[in-house]
Structure 1
């Protein structure tokens, strides 16, 4: 079970035991005291003895042709979910923040190499996360770069084309 199926199963199990799901933006919480209060974007205050805050994890797609088509065929958005599928492969991670550094570092457990592609010349990640990536022998960087194209062979990801963000 993965992705949406896993979420549906978790939701069904929680509801089976009486959980109420609020699919809304939460604007404030008061978690002190026996009864907790959660206020949604419409101003409705929800009260409960127990509150589980599941913020989830959102990924951003690049918006490139073939990206969706190659999902599960070499394109992935979850290193911890799919990393083992890429054992002894060269992997590309896009981004310059803490999440990208964490995912790239995690993927070195499986990969032959990890290249971090970042559109700027400096990372946004915390110094700790940067140092972990910079000192890992399996990680290299393609700064001032973005993925211009996703290549496939027989419906499987076979490579990416990088574009220099300054020279094109």
Structure 2
């Protein structure tokens, strides 16, 4: 006789451990809690924004083990043991801005700021893969993130400036 799979109650909690911005977290979450909601509600890091809730806009982009992922498309239980970086973790020691943050400030890469956390994390990962992008490569790097305010011109300038800042500081 074949055994039936165990059916869990929809509100059953699951224990998940992971790191966010270098700090260890252990949380208990329902199986269907989205990672974006867990980061905001359970961990208390509200920098990850939720826009479309379909993975299209990129506002919820974080880094998971160094790679950009849409936090609104992942269940929190799926990040067991992962290392996550949110926008709050992109700064430099001593509360200094990271290269991408500094470039956004210098080049006016944001207006309302809603999409900015997703752009910052996406660009951070992109510059690790391509530390010296052309303007066309910078546009490709940000192609998966939507902004309703800026027209992307200053965001592209910010990508190129962030690459300069990284080179000047030794590639951090």
Normalized against structure 1, the TM-score is what? 0.28
Higher RCO structure (Cα 8 Å, ≥6 apart): 2
Flag the structure with larger Rg. 1
Determine which structure has the larger helix proportion and give its number: 2
Normalized against structure 2, the TM-score is what? 0.28
